Chain A
Amino acid sequence: MTNEEKIKKELAEMFGFNTEQIRVARERRVFLEVPYNQFRRVLEYVVNDMEFRHLCTISGLDEGETLAFYYHLARTDGIVLNLKTSVPKANPVLQTIADIFPGGVIYERELVDLLGARVEGLPKGNRYPLPDSWPVGLCPLRKDFKIEALAGVDWQKEAKFNG
């Protein structure tokens, strides 16, 4: 059995995932989708017990009714576990993972600015990557974003930021 299949089997046994939730896309690439209420437990398990200790980045996606997030986690043997979870767009609240990956803060700030996610527990700091005067609530990576919405923005005035 390959290492990828072993990962699949271990996670399926541990959390009862079905074959739709977890798939081996190719050599060294495993994709896993979990509901948000299970996310933290799965993340802690794969980091602490399966040695996925490197967070490559977090990709945020606008999927219509939900916002989805891919946590790309890598291991020293080159296998990448793409851990996906999603939250409703109406209330897009995530818990920070800065306690596990201190370097991940910048990726979370990006989710806040570009996709309008609310990340609870995110340490205080500058916003990233949009300018201080960019209006809050206008998220350029959302599919319904229109460039016209920027007309009339006072670029000299700092926006009140909730990040």
Chain B
Amino acid sequence: MDNIKIPIGPQHPALKEPENFTITLKGETIINMDMRLGYNHRGIEKACEERTYIQSMYIVERVCGICSHSHSTCFIQAVEEIAGLAVPPRAKYIRTIIAELERMHSHLLWLGVAGHEIGFDTLLMYSWRDREVVMDTLAALTGNRVNYGMNTIGGVRRDITREQLADLLKAMDVLEERTKYYIEVATEEITVIKRFSGVGYLSHEDAMKLGAIGPTGRASNVDTDVRRDDPYIAYKDLDFKVITDNHNDVYGRTLVRLGELMQSYSMIRQLVAKIPDGPIAVKAPRKIPAGEAFSRYEAPRGENVHYVKANGTDKAERVKIRAPTLANLQSVAKMMENNRLADVPIIIAAIDPCFSCTDRMIQINHADHGREKTLSWQTLHAFSLDWHRKQGIDFAALNAKLNRRMKI
């Protein structure tokens, strides 16, 4: 039988972001894979050259919808190093708290997506429900669920109160209990074990050669973690284990992420216990002296790196960003080899490529009488129809057109 080429993407129901994978098949088995990336290229590096450092920080925060804190922290670490700013210890602890909360929401999100890709939607519903605990905590601490806007050059913009720290500990107890349950599911539920084991195999040697990072690399026993190897913000004050696994497949990647969640809860408890008092920011100059710095950060998906070159003005000469997914995509082609076509979605999802997740329900607090109001589905639907009518859209004409088309 001849080999068949199947294009998957750039628009495809199994992938939440535009990427194209052209897969060569022999029967059901994947022979090789070719990638076409760049559909989401927005020219952020160039944009940073034409904006001040503080403006760039907000742009960089929007590189990724999930790892927003990862990118802004990685960027300003480099800027602060060039400017020689001593960030106050309390600010470093606050940055670390947000960083670990971000890892939790990212890993819980991943667990749900992984469940969804193997048709185990109960896992998706459960883990995303629990993820809301993290999202609510982040919203309480920063005012937002993603793109927290917590960082500023020289420190952070908001302090965390004693009450918020107490709430944080309560949230950790809930999440820890739930994660223990997920570990039980992952290690005992036969559907999960059968469906994840041996899928998307990446040997230790290939992971090393192709430069796999983060949980993807650690599940192939690549024992690296920037938090331990090249400590930044408050990580050198914390006691934690780097989770590795030698299953080398999607199952291993699941165990690594679940193990990392447990470590993150412990880190938050240590941070809350040790957080020092003091100022949360130092004043940063508008112009940054000439110089260069290379900054690394362990984002939920792996090592994130930023290189910044300053030229003495208020704008950067060059900003270079390498997000973790770009490094991990190199391993995907290898993971696909000799797998079945039906495994493609879960293999791609297993490196946790970056999805955007800003959807949410809004609870409106009426400013004039302080009453809470939740929009029901019916009200929201009616509101939407009404809004579109006001824009001049005639639903009767649209329906008539649709009916005509359906007849042909």
Q: In the assembly, what is the distance between CA of A86 and CA of B14, in Å?
A: 42
**CB-CB < 8 A to B45: which residues of A?**
114, 141
Asked if A129 and B224 make an inter-chain contact with CB atoms under 8 angstroms apart, the answer reads no
Q: For the complex, what is the distance from the CA of A7 to the CA of B127, rounded to whole Å? A: 47
A140: which of B46, B307, B327 is its contact (CB, 8 Å)?
B46
Residue of B nearest to A28 (CB): B230
Q: Would you call A78 and B305 a contact (CB within 8 A)?
A: no
How distant is A65 from chain B, measured CB to nearest CB, in Å?
15
Closest residue of chain B to A126, judged by CB?
A: B36
Q: List which A47-101 residues lie within 8 A (CB) of chain B.
A: 53-57, 59-61, 70, 72, 74, 76-78, 80, 82, 101
Which residues of B sit under 8 angstroms from A57, Cβ to Cβ?
305, 307, 320, 322, 327
A80 touches B35 (CB 8 A): no
In the complex, how many angstroms separate the beta carbon of B26 from the nearest chain A beta carbon?
21
A25 contact from B293, B318, B330, Cβ within 8 A: B293
B326 contact set on A, CB distance < 8 A? 106
Kindly list chain A residues whose C-beta atoms are within 8 Å of the C-beta of B330. 102-103, 105-106
- Bound-complex Cα distance A21 to B320 (A): 22
Residues of A within 8 A of B309 (CB): 61
Give residues of chain B (20-35) contacting chain A, Cβ–Cβ below 8 Å.
34-35
Range of interface residues on chain A?
35 or more
The answer to the question of B208 belonging to the interface, with a C-beta cut-off of 8 Å to chain A, is yes
A142 to B35, CA, bound (A): 26
CB distance from A146 to the nearest CB of B (A): 12
In Å, the complex CA distance between A66 and B296 comes to 27
Interface size on B, residues (CB 8 A): 37
Interface membership of chain A positions 115-159, coded 1 if the CB is closer than 8 angstroms to chain B and 0 otherwise: 000000000011111110000000011000100000000000000
Once the chains bind, are A130 and B320 in contact (CB under 8 Å)?
A: no
Q: How far is the CA of A31 from the CA of B41 in the complex (A)?
A: 29
| A107 vs B296: C-alpha distance when bound (angstroms) | 17
Known: A56-B322, A59-B318, A76-B229. A129 touches B37 (CB 8 A): yes
Do B296 and A54 touch (CB < 8 A)? no
Given contacts A56-B305, A61-B309, A76-B224, contact A126 B35 (CB under 8 A): yes
Asked if A29 is at the interface of the complex by the 8 Å CB criterion, the answer is: yes
**B392 within 8 Å of A (CB atoms):** no
A28 to B307, alpha carbons, bound, how many Å? 15
Scan residues 168-224 of chain B and give those whose CB is less than 8 A from a CB of chain A.
Answer: 208-211, 223-224
Alpha-carbon gap, A42 to B276, bound state (A): 45
Q: Is A41 an interface residue (CB 8 A)?
A: no
Q: With A59-B320, A72-B294 as known contacts, state yes or no: A128 contacts B37, CB within 8 Å.
A: yes
Say yes or no: B294 contacts A29, CB within 8 Å.
yes
B296-343 interface with A by 8 A CB criterion: 296, 303, 305, 307, 309, 317-318, 320, 322, 326-327, 329-331
Of the A-B pairs whose beta carbons lie under 8 Å apart in the complex, a sample of 17, sorted by A's number, is: A26-B81, A28-B230, A31-B292, A56-B303, A57-B305, A59-B307, A61-B318, A77-B229, A78-B231, A102-B210, A102-B330, A104-B211, A105-B330, A106-B330, A128-B36, A131-B38, A141-B46
**Smallest CB-CB A-B distances: 8 pairs:** A129-B38, A78-B230, A57-B322, A103-B211, A59-B320, A78-B229, A103-B330, A129-B41
